[in-house]
């Protein structure tokens, strides 16, 4: 005797639902790490991407510390660490360029939308921007 599953099976839902979708996601709930507060000194979007895509602050500090200690002791630079730091710089520069490009694109889109939707405000904004540059 075969049974068919109904469209909603509570037991099946209970056991599968938590893993039925994308399980590779970043968890940033304050209750998960209540003692962690990050106040980025630079652009928060760049900083967030750097620590999630390139290297954590701890790793970056570790690389710098290892290189500084070698220099202070007159020892040869740890080549693998130097290579990691150089690669991180390239990756960070690429992130900065991407974020800057998307910010410029967003500004252009906003100006285009303002020009289309409210030409008077668009003209006023441009006049204000021009007069502020000459002040």
DSSP string computed for 22-68:
--------TTTSTT-----SS-HHHHHHIIIII--HHHHHHHHHHHH
Q: State the Cα–Cα distance between residues 97 and 52, nearest whole angstrom.
A: 17
Structure tokens at 28: 């940033």
For residue range 86-135, list pLDDT tens digits in order: 999 999 999 999 988 888 888 999 999 999 999 999 999 999 989 887 66
Domain boundaries, the chain: 41-133
For residue range 25-57, list pLDDT tens digits in order: 555 555 555 445 455 567 888 899 999 999 999
């Amino acid at each position: 005797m075969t049974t068919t599953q109904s469209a909603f099976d509570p037991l099946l839902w209970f056991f599968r639902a938590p893993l039925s979708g994308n399980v590779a996601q970043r968890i940033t709930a304050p209750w998960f790490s209540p003692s962690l507060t990050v106040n980025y000194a630079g652009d928060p979007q760049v900083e967030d991407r750097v620590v999630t895509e390139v290297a954590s602050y701890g790793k970056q500090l570790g690389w710098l510390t290892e290189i500084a200690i070698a220099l202070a002791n007159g020892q040869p630079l740890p080549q693998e660490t130097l290579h990691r730091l150089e690669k991180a710089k390239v990756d960070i520069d690429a992130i900065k360029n991407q974020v800057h490009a998307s910010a410029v694109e967003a500004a252009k889109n906003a100006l285009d939308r303002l020009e289309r939707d409210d030409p008077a405000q668009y003209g006023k904004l441009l006049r204000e921007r021009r007069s502020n540059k000459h002040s």
